């Protein structure tokens, strides 16, 4: 499917502000000032991930704050149908975020600002006084733990850290195995991959300890003449519960209405300026329209049509997960 500004009548704009200094991020409850590095303007997707401050996220009402002690995240789900949930957090110095061990879930996290230390939660996490510089997790590092929980800690003398957390479980059997096609599953961008299809193999998961992927070491996937780029930290058979990575796009790069039949899409803007529209099952029925803010997670259920468009002035940067994984494989097909 080709990029179409005409069809994208409303959309998600997940954007990175283009100039050094204060910029405005629109939201349904007002605006938030953010500060980002110079050199991230233009119509082509940025080639580098931004350096941001966790303080930029504090003003967002969607971001959860861990201000003292240990903050625990439940492995339960309010929505019985959802295979995953996503939230953005700011961890203040001396605090920790913990997902308890549960063999039925994966815990994934992306540190997008500041630095932290991490381990699995079972066996018991390392004491804070055992953590050293060499074990520090810096910005734009992805973490995954399967069944063993996750513990993320910010040292008392460290700056606050901004973290996007995903808890994912096995999808209902009715969702089946995800099969994606670069030209039939709303391939992002205006390139074609000749209909290449990728099957995501389903296997039992075994504990693998804490997996750490620095995005600096992950290849860029690029398509649409540079309009879109992605880095996929975790995908494939071992990441069957959820894929995890980042998506970057040019300021005026749009994605037409499309659908993921068997996967939920979860996306959190690093910095945002735009809207997302999600359509219901009825032809032409508009389910809801959201203005997207920095740190505001969006969850799009399987089978729901959706579309997004950039605000036209700034490029996009977002943390993205698919649960179960599969749709992200079209990024690999498009980049060939």
245 assigned to some structural domain: yes
DSSP type of residue 238? G
209 and 293, same structural domain? yes
Residue linked to tokens 């749009």: 254
98 and 33, same structural domain? no
pLDDT above 90: residue 126: no
12 assigned to some structural domain: no
Which of 169, 188, 218 is the C-terminal boundary of a domain? 169
* Nearest-angstrom CA–CA distance, 79 and 311: 31
The 10s digit of each residue's pLDDT in 148-159 is: 999 999 999 999
CB 323 within 8 A of CB 171: yes
For residue 268, the domain's CATH number is 2.60.120.10
209 and 156, same structural domain? no
* Nearest-angstrom CA–CA distance, 128 and 219: 32
209 and 107, same structural domain? no
124-133, 162-171, 184-193, 234-243, range with the lowest pLDDT: 184-193
Q: Beta-carbon neighbour count of residue 279 at 10 Å?
A: 18
- What pLDDT shows up at residue 184? 33
143 assigned to some structural domain: yes
Higher pLDDT, 25 or 147: 147
78 and 41, same structural domain? no
The 10s digit of each residue's pLDDT in 264-281 is: 999 998 876 777 878 876
Q: What angle do CA 321, 106, 100 make, to 5 degrees?
A: 130
Per-residue buried b or exposed e for 230-260, using 16+ beta carbons within 10 Å of the residue's own CB: bbbbbbeebbbbbbbbbbbbbbbbbbbbbbb
327 and 232, same structural domain? yes
Among 59, 87, 57, CA closest to 297: 87
Which of 129, 145, 169 is the C-terminal boundary of a domain? 169
179 and 165, same structural domain? no
11 assigned to some structural domain: no
Tell me the percentage of the chain whose pLDDT exceeds 70: 68
284 assigned to some structural domain: yes
Instruction: With 0.85 as the threshold, say if the pTM is over it.
Output: no
Secondary element (H or E) of residue 243: strand 243-249
- What pLDDT shows up at residue 258? 86
**Highest-confidence segment of 17-31, 229-243, 279-293:** 229-243
189 and 323, same structural domain? yes
* Nearest-angstrom CA–CA distance, 333 and 129: 45
- What pLDDT shows up at residue 282? 61
CB 202 within 8 A of CB 167: no
223 and 319, same structural domain? yes
Residue linked to tokens 């996929």: 232
pLDDT above 50: residue 182: no
245 and 222, same structural domain? yes
239 and 259, same structural domain? yes
58 assigned to some structural domain: no
* Nearest-angstrom CA–CA distance, 327 and 336: 16
Domains contained in the chain, number: 2
304 assigned to some structural domain: yes
Among 10, 1, 4, 3, CA closest to 278: 10
257 and 189, same structural domain? yes
Reported as a pLDDT band with limits 50, 70 and 90, residue 99 is: very high
Domain residue limits at 111: 64-169
* Nearest-angstrom CA–CA distance, 56 and 153: 20
pLDDT above 90: residue 96: yes
pLDDT above 60: residue 32: no
116-125, 276-285, 307-316, range with the lowest pLDDT: 276-285
5 assigned to some structural domain: no
Which of 169, 201, 233 is the C-terminal boundary of a domain? 169
pLDDT above 80: residue 208: no
The 10s digit of each residue's pLDDT in 217-270 is: 999 999 888 888 999 999 988 788 999 999 987 777 777 788 999 999 999 988
């Amino acid at each position: 499917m080709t990029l179409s500004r005409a069809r994208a009548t409303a959309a998600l704009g997940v954007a990175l502000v283009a100039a050094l200094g204060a910029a405005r991020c629109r939201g349904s409850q007002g605006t938030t000032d953010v500060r980002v590095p110079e050199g991230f303007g233009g119509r082509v997707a940025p080639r580098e991930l931004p350096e941001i401050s966790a303080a930029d996220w504090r003003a967002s009402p969607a971001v959860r704050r861990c201000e003292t002690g240990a903050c625990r995240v439940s492995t339960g789900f309010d929505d019985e149908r959802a295979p995953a949930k996503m939230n953005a957090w700011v961890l203040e110095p001396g605090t920790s975020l913990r997902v308890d061990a549960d063999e039925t879930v994966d815990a994934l996290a992306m540190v997008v600002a500041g630095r932290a230390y991490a381990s699995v939660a079972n066996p018991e996490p390392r004491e804070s006084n055992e953590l050293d510089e060499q074990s520090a997790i810096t910005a734009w590092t992805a973490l995954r733990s399967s069944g063993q929980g996750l513990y993320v800690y910010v040292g008392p003398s460290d700056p606050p850290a901004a973290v996007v957390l995903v808890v994912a479980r096995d999808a209902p059997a009715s969702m089946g195995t995800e099969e994606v096609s670069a030209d039939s599953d709303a391939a992002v961008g205006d390139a074609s991959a000749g209909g290449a299809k990728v099957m995501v193999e389903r296997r039992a998961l075994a504990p693998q300890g804490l997996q750490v992927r620095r995005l600096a070491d992950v290849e860029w996937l690029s398509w649409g003449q540079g309009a879109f780029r992605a880095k996929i930290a975790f995908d494939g058979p071992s990441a069957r519960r959820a894929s995890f990575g980042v998506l970057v796009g040019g300021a005026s790069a749009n994605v037409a209405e499309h659908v993921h039949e068997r996967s939920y899409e979860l996306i959190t803007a690093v910095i945002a300026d735009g809207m997302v529209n999600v359509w219901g099952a009825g032809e032409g029925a508009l389910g809801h329209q959201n203005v997207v803010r920095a740190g505001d997670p969006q969850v799009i259920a399987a089978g729901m049509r959706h579309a997004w468009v950039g605000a036209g002035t700034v490029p996009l940067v977002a943390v993205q997960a698919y649960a179960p994984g599969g749709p992200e494989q079209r990024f690999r097909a498009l980049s060939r």
